[in-house]
């Protein structure tokens, strides 16, 4: 049976007002299968019995499901009409009963209406772009709202038409500002919407069911997901590393493909220019390949375009997270390759700092991930490769060199093996618990313990940032709770949950089944680890981190467990922080970073984008002038010559990009990726460690790093 879809066709546009006609578009209806009916019951049963968060399957969940489902389908509120939303209200309190019985009628009915709205809208936009009578006047004083996720759905067709006219106009203006003619811009935008139309036409039952199921699982937490058989297959391919690529985790966000994180040691991580939260707008094959616009593409399609044989080049056109339009992009060249275990290995160097005419040697160990060669471990091979074994070797070498203190750099370390986090902690503390794990039945596992005498008992600082997650947070939390060292950086990610993958009748369910807690009783979930000394980072914590997710499990606290207290830093931290602030105020590179963060903050505050070309050109020039201003401020502080105008500044940026690419290529072939002399935050962390060493050695402190006392929770010290 075929269902007619209403297609809106532009007939006349006069003074920016659209008049629309109607044509018919036919799409095959999508119906769920008996297996999918049984699968949704299976999903519900597993969520009830195994998920860490207990949620009653009742009308409240049903109401939340409808909101979640609609936000998943139409996050910008551009496709549905308010009358559609009103018509869905009859289902609001019925989804709980429907899913219990395997009834997916209402969910598929809503999706069918969504397909109608998308199909008709894509057709109307394409007609508008092909109609020569439709004028796009970029001299008018007009603007468009950036985020519509909290705006009402349009009430009438005319209201929706105006929204879409502005959206198309914005896309055209962005492309014009990127150097395309209006006709070229129309062609690019038309291709985007043709692809979206084709995608909606090619959707099958599995696509719909995956969307329906994930709107349910996301009510529990952001890491609980349903995987269709196709998604499960892609996951298995990625885990086996059987395909080459760039080593980046990607996700869809509105029309864009967004970089979630980089795989440590992967091609993109080594190249150094691609950053988490960047949005990919285009992909080109090889140095001479033409950039293919991928805005509006399915995630799998973009991934397939980026993947390819090792030792081949892929170029990505990306826009930064603080950019409001796709007009502000840059092209990044990456050599594809495999992610090898040795590329993720810990590395070390020595940072030499002067103080009172003396040279202080600070050992630096960079650990990109918590890795282990599971196969070699299972075969009980001696000295198998793992993060803790490698760090132990590096530590021995640094101690032979007579280091005065150690920095363990866990910035951007997204985690990995839990046992390796425990083993690494074992190198710095004597016997004692490292982490507590609580399951849904309130059983608490405290078996993950340090079991040997510490290898290194000297001064220690752990560097973290917003991308330090999971196992990194377990290690940093233990070091902080034991008073073994101080934590420097930004608040960590806050990923304090454990997931397992469960097979279903169709596909699989990744489900959150337990939660991490520190020995202090604090959860690492949501809050993460709060550093003792804060450092800046060019990532917005409202966009990255557990707290940025809806329905993330909350922070909470359980009983602490008895553990040693090696040092009480509370008496010296205020002094250390004050000394750090004074140094930072005089550091040109440090303040340059703060100025960049402030610009990013101001850009984020913008709620609208102008559709006037002259205004946009002026805004772009003002942004460049501001960038030149803070760069000249930095150069003046370092005794360098200032840029006299934008032309000179732009030329310097082009030169710097070429130099950066050459430096990245050299670093990729070098043994160490640590730049101890070019990292302002690392150098300042070294100075902080020197302060800690000096202050802890004063007689009035009467404390030393090898001083320990037993700490019993609840007993005053």
pLDDT surpasses 70 at 232? no
Residue 395 confidence (pLDDT) above 90: yes
Q: Which of 64-68, 154-158, 293-297, 664-668 comes out lowest in average pLDDT?
A: 664-668
CB-CB contact of 477 with 518 (8 Å): yes
Sorting pLDDT into bands at 50, 70 and 90, what band is 329?
confident
At 370, is the secondary structure helix, strand, or coil?
strand
Position 315 pLDDT exceeds 60: yes
Dihedral class, residue 551 (left if φ above 0, else alpha if ψ from -120 to 50, else beta): left
Pairing mode, strands 486-489 and 533-534:
parallel
Checking if the pLDDT of 224 tops 90, the result is yes
**Is residue 521 pLDDT above 60, yes or no?**
yes
Mean pLDDT calculated for residue range 339-352:
82
pLDDT band at 699 (very low <50, low <70, confident <90, very high): very low
- Quick one: how many helices (H) and strands (E) in the chain? 20, 25
Higher pLDDT, 248 or 38: 38
Q: What is the pLDDT of residues 106-116, one digit of tens each?
A: 999 999 999 99
To the nearest whole number, what is the mean pLDDT of the chain?
85
Q: Is the pLDDT of residue 462 over 80?
A: yes
Residue holding tokens 């969520």? 47
What helix, strand, coil percent values describe the chain, rounded to 5?
A: 45, 20, 40
Please report the pLDDT score of residue 518 as a whole number. Answer: 97
Residues of the chain above pLDDT 70, percent:
87
Residue for token digits 């467990």?
561
31, 52, 495, 517, 521 from 446: Cα distances, Å: 48, 18, 19, 10, 11
Q: How far apart are CA 607 and CA 147, in angstroms?
A: 7
Confidence of residue 542 (pLDDT cuts 50, 70, 90): confident
Which tens digit of pLDDT belongs to each residue from 414-458? 988 899 999 999 999 999 999 999 998 889 999 899 889 999 999
Dihedral class, residue 416 (left if φ above 0, else alpha if ψ from -120 to 50, else beta) = left
pLDDT in the model for residue 242: 35
- Alpha helices, DSSP H only, in 131-217? 157-177, 182-202, 205-217
Collect all residues with Cβ–Cβ distance below 8 Å to 115 and sequence separation of at least 6: 5, 27, 30, 200, 203
Q: 3-class secondary structure for 242-273?
A: CCCECCEEEEEECCEEEEEEECCCCHHHHHCC
Residue 252 confidence (pLDDT): 79
Determine how β-strand 143-145 pairs with β-strand 608-610: antiparallel
Instruction: Give me the mean pLDDT over the 117-145 stretch.
Output: 93
**What percentage of the chain has pLDDT greater than the value 90?**
60
Find the angle CA(464)-CA(544)-CA(169) to the nearest 5 degrees: 145
pLDDT of residue 350: 94
More confident of the two residues 295 and 490: 490
> What's the pLDDT score for residue 655?
65
**704 in helix, strand or coil?**
coil
Give the Cβ contact number of residue 94 at 10 Å: 16
* pLDDT, position 1: 30
Q: Between helices 105-130 and 157-177, what is the axis angle to 10°?
A: 60
Indicate the range of 2-11, 249-258, 338-347, 597-606 predicted with least confidence: 2-11
- Domain boundary assignment for the chain: 3-220, 242-335, 363-488+517-717
For residues 494-518, one letter each, b for 16 or more C-beta atoms within 10 angstroms of the residue's C-beta and e for the rest, the string is bbbbbbeeeebebbbbbbbbbbbbb
Closest CA to 35 of 682, 507, 704, 598: 507
* Helix or strand run (H / E) with residue 660: helix 646-669
β-strand 460-464 against 358-366: which pairing, if any? unpaired
Top pLDDT among 599 and 479 is at 479
Q: Is the pLDDT of residue 326 over 70?
A: no
pLDDT in tens, 572-599: 999 999 999 999 999 999 999 999 999 9
Q: Given pLDDT bands bounded at 50, 70 and 90, which one contains residue 525? A: very high
**pLDDT value of position 490:** 96
**Better pLDDT: 157 or 661:** 157
Highest-pLDDT range among 63-72, 592-601, 689-698: 63-72
CB atoms within 10 A of CB 3: 13
What pLDDT does residue 12 have? 31
Is the pLDDT at 510 greater than 60? The verdict is: yes
- Cα–Cα dist 561/443, whole Å: 15
Highest mean pLDDT pick, 308-312, 473-477, 674-678:
473-477
Active site residues: 470, 481, 495
| Statement: residue 527 has pLDDT above 50 | yes
Q: How far is CA 595 from the centre of its chain?
A: 23
Most distant CA pair in the chain: distance in Å? 87
Q: Which residues contact 194 (CB under 8 A, 6 or more apart)?
A: 122, 126
79 band by pLDDT with thresholds 50, 70 and 90? very high
Distance CA 65, CA 514 (A): 23
Distances (CA, A) of 585 to 578, 582, 588, 640, 682: 11, 5, 8, 19, 16
Taking the model in full, what pTM does it have? 0.85
Residue 4 has a pLDDT of 32
What CA–CA distance (Å, rounded) separates 262 from 344? 12
Quick one: pLDDT band at residue 26, thresholds 50, 70, 90? low
Which structure tokens are listed for 99? Answer: 């899913």
Average pLDDT on 217-227 reads 94
How far CA 289 is from CA of 285, 286, 292, 312, in Å, comes to 5, 5, 9, 12
Which CATH code of 3.40.50.150, 3.90.79.10, 2.30.42.10, 3.20.20.140 fits the domain covering 242-335?
2.30.42.10
Is residue 18 pLDDT above 50, yes or no? no
Question: What pLDDT shows up at residue 337?
Answer: 80
The alpha helices in 278-336, defined as continuous H runs, are 299-306
Taking only the tens place, the pLDDT of each residue in 396-406 is: 999 999 999 99
pLDDT at 418: 92
């Amino acid at each position: 049976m075929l269902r007619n879809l209403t297609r809106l066709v532009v007939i006349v546009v006069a003074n920016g007002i659209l008049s629309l006609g109607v044509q018919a578009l036919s799409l095959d209806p999508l119906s769920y299968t008996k297996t999918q009916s049984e699968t949704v019951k299976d999903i519900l049963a597993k969520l009830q019995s195994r998920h860490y968060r207990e949620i009653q399957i009742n009308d409240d969940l049903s109401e939340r499901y409808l909101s979640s489902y609609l936000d998943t389908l139409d996050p910008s509120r551009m496709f549905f009409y308010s009358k559609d939303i009103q018509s869905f209200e009859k289902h609001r309190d019925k989804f709980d009963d429907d899913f219990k019985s395997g009834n997916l009628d209402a969910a598929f009915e809503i999706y069918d209406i969504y397909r109608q709205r998308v199909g008709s809208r894509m057709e109307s936009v394409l007609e508008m772009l092909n109609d020569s009578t439709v004028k796009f006047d970029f001299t008018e004083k007009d603007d468009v709202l950036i985020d519509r996720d909290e705006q009402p759905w349009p009430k009438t067709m005319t209201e929706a038409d105006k929204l879409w006219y502005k959206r198309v106009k914005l896309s055209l203006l962005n492309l014009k500002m990127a150097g395309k003619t209006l006709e070229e811009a129309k062609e690019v935008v038309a291709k985007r919407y043709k692809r979206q139309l084709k995608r909606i036409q090619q959707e099958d039952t599995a696509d719909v069911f995956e969307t329906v199921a994930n709107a349910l699982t996301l009510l529990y937490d952001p890491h609980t997901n349903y995987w269709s058989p196709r998604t499960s297959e892609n996951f298995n391919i990625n885990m086996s590393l059987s395909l080459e690529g760039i080593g980046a985790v990607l996700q869809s966000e509105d029309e864009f493909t967004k970089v979630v994180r980089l795989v440590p040691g992967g091609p993109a991580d080594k190249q150094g220019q691609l950053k988490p939260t960047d949005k990919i707008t285009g992909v080109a094959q090889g140095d001479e390949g033409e950039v293919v616009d991928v805005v509006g593409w399915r995630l799998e399609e973009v991934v397939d375009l980026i993947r390819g044989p090792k030792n081949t080049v892929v170029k990505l056109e990306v826009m930064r997270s603080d950019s409001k339009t796709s007009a502000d992009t840059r092209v990044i060249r990456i050599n594809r390759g495999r992610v090898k275990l040795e590329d993720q290995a810990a590395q070390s160097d020595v940072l030499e700092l002067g103080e009172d005419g003396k040279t202080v040697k600070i050992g630096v160990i960079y650990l990109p991930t918590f890795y282990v060669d599971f196969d070699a471990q299972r075969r009980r091979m001696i000295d198998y490769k793992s993060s803790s074994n490698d760090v132990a070797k590096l530590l021995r070498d640094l101690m032979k060199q007579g280091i005065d203190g150690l920095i363990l750099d866990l910035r951007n370390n997204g985690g990995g093996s839990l046992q390796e986090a425990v083993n690494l902690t074992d190198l710095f503390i004597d016997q004692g618990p490292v982490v507590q794990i609580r399951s849904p039945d309130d059983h608490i596992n405290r078996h993950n313990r340090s079991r040997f005498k510490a290898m290194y008992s000297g001064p220690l600082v752990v560097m973290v940032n917003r991308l330090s997650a999971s196992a990194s947070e377990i290690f940093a939390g233990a070091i902080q709770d034991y008073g073994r060292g101080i934590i420097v950086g930004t608040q960590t990610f806050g990923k304090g949950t454990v997931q397992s993958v469960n097979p279903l009748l169709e596909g699989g369910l990744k489900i959150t089944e337990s939660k991490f807690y520190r020995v202090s009783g604090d959860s690492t979930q949501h809050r993460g680890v709060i550093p003792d000394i804060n450092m800046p980072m060019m990532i917005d914590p409202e966009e990255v981190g557990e707290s940025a997710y809806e329905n993330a499990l909350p922070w909470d606290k359980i009983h602490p467990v008895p553990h040693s207290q090696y040092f009480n830093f509370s008496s010296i931290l205020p002094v250390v922080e004050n000394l750090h602030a004074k140094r930072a105020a005089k550091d040109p590179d440090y303040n340059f970073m703060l100025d960049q963060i402030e610009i990013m903050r101001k850009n984020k505050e913008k709620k609208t984008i102008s559709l006037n070309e002259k205004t946009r050109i002026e805004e772009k020039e003002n942004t460049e002038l501001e960038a030149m201003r803070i760069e000249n401020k930095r150069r003046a502080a370092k005794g360098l010559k200032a840029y006299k105008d934008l032309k000179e500044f732009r030329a310097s940026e082009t030169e710097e990009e070429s130099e950066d690419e050459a430096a990245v290529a050299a670093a990729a072939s070098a043994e160490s990726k640590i730049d101890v002399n070019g990292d302002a935050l690392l150098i300042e962390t070294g100075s902080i460690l020197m302060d800690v060493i000096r202050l802890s050695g004063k007689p009035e402190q009467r404390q030393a790093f090898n001083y320990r006392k037993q700490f019993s929770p609840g007993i005053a010290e």
